[in-house]
Each structure stands twice: as structure tokens, then as C-alpha cells.
Structure 1
Amino acid sequence: MDDAARPRTGWTFLTNHARVLATIARNPQIRVRDIAANCMLTQRAVQKIISDLESDGYLSHTRVGRTNTYEVAAGMSLRHPADAGQTVAALLSLFSLDTAAHQQTGPAQAP
């Protein structure tokens, strides 16, 4: 079985809110059912997370027919005091790192 597909228990590096936000940032027209499948959550949990993100200003949506188009507020600051000054854009940039280039060049060396 693939390591990525194996369910894990205990702690994780990302919250479900971060997973949902990153999934929406990659595809702003994604359906709730597809977010749920991608994040391994229920549709109800995704709807609650989207509601949380919208009520706090991190996400908004526009409805066209039966489709939602989401917009991430990339300039918003992260919520935890330890992350003061960091933005949603900085968090989302972690998901777009080119790991292939990093593996070819190796880790950054300390000065």
C-alpha cells in the first residue's frame, strides 16, 4: 500500500482548515464533494470549515448558477499569535514548493 494512502493516527502537520484552504487555492471552482475526497473529510466537515473561513474573512465565494467560485484572502494574517505577521499567502506558498528542484540541489546550506 502507498504510504500517502495509508491512514495515520495521532498528530499531523496541518489542520483540516489549512488542507481545505490549500485545496481551494489550487482550484477555486472545486466542488465541496471533491474537497472532501481530497482532504479525506466528510462533506459536512468541509462545509463547516468553509463557513469558518468565510466568517473570519479568509475566504469568500461567488455563486454562478450551481457553481461556487472561491477567492482566498491571501493578505490576511494567520490567526495564532506565534504566527504574527505571517499571511495566508506565505502559508500557501509552502504548498507550491518545487520539491523536484529541491531534491536536485539538496537542502539549503547554513551561512
Structure 2
Amino acid sequence: MSEWGFMTNHLHALYCVARHPGIRIREIAESVGVQERAAHRIVADLVEGGYLTRRRVGSRNFYELHPTLPLRREGLDEVAVGEILDVLLGTEAKRPEAHGSKSGYPATSTLATAKKPRPAPWAPSLTRGAMANSTARCNT
């Protein structure tokens, strides 16, 4: 009997990006349990579908999540992806609703105008040490 789970690889990648907007493809791959090439394809799918926007800051990519888009599942298209991420992140009650979107995620990226990359207000702070441990935190 094959193993199965409720969380798709695409949702798992979105979860990782929601927790760490500057996460590397390699770290997404490790967390999701796929090869780097597959993780790159997943992120490309999410960018193409409009769920993520990729911004290059120096030599790093940072991702902006668009949580108001619906799930890509017939019968569940009235549920926004941000609502699922709120449950997974356990932050719905903690996140201020002042960001201009239903789920409280930032409506626009703060990275577009910033000289130094900053994570979204609801994301944990990112330091070199924190990024080294991002895989463990993505899986929790």
C-alpha cells in the first residue's frame, strides 16, 4: 500500500515560502522531500499560476505570496489558499487584518522599495543561522 498525505507538494512549498520568503529552492526541496529540479518546477508552477511573485534582491530570490487566490480544486474554488495557510501556520488570530487582504497577508511586497531585504511582518526574522535551520522549521 502506498503512502499518501493531505498536503500536496505545491501546498508544502507555499507553506515554506509563507514562513520564509527568502527560502532557497534547495531548502524547499529538502523540506518537501523532492529533488531540486522538482522544487524548481513547483515554484515555477506557483509563479505561473499567480500564487507567488519572484523578486531578485542581489543574488537571492524573495517570494511574495498572493493568498487571496482560490485553491485549484473543483468544488473548493471558493476557499482562498491563504485560509489554508492560516490554519497550517496557526497565525490567523495573531496576524493583523490591516494589510488589506482577507487573510491578513501583506497585499504588496515591502521588498520592491527596500534596499535591504526584509521579511513580511508576519514571517519570523531571517538570519543566516535561522536560514540554515529553515528546513526543520518548514517541517514543523
Q: TM-score, normalised by structure 1?
A: 0.76
Larger relative contact order, structure 1 or 2 (CA cutoff 8 Å, min sep 6)? 2
Q: What SS is found at the alignment partner of 2:75?
A: helix
Q: What SS is found at the alignment partner of 2:31?
A: helix
Instruction: Quote the residue 2:80 is aligned against.
Output: 87
Instruction: Quote the residue 1:62 is aligned against.
Output: 55
Alpha-carbon separation, structure 1, partners of 2:89 and 2:66: 17
1:23 to 16, 29, 38: 16
What is the identity, as a one-letter code, of the residue corresponding to 2:61? N
- Equivalenced residue count is 91
Q: CA deviation at 1:94?
A: 1.6
Alpha-carbon separation, structure 2, partners of 1:97 and 1:25: 12
Q: Which runs of 5+ in 1 are unaligned?
A: 1-8, 99-111
1:51 to 30, 44, 48: 44
Higher helix share: 1
Query: Which structure has the greater CA radius of gyration?
Result: 1
Alpha-carbon separation, structure 2, partners of 1:96 and 1:24: 11
What is the identity, as a one-letter code, of the residue corresponding to 2:27? D
Runs of 4+ in 1 over 4 A off after TM superposition: none
Alpha-carbon separation, structure 2, partners of 1:35 and 1:47: 9
1:38 to 24, 31, 34: 31
Percent of aligned pairs with the same amino acid = 36
Task: Calculate the aligned-residue CA RMSD, in Å.
Answer: 1.6
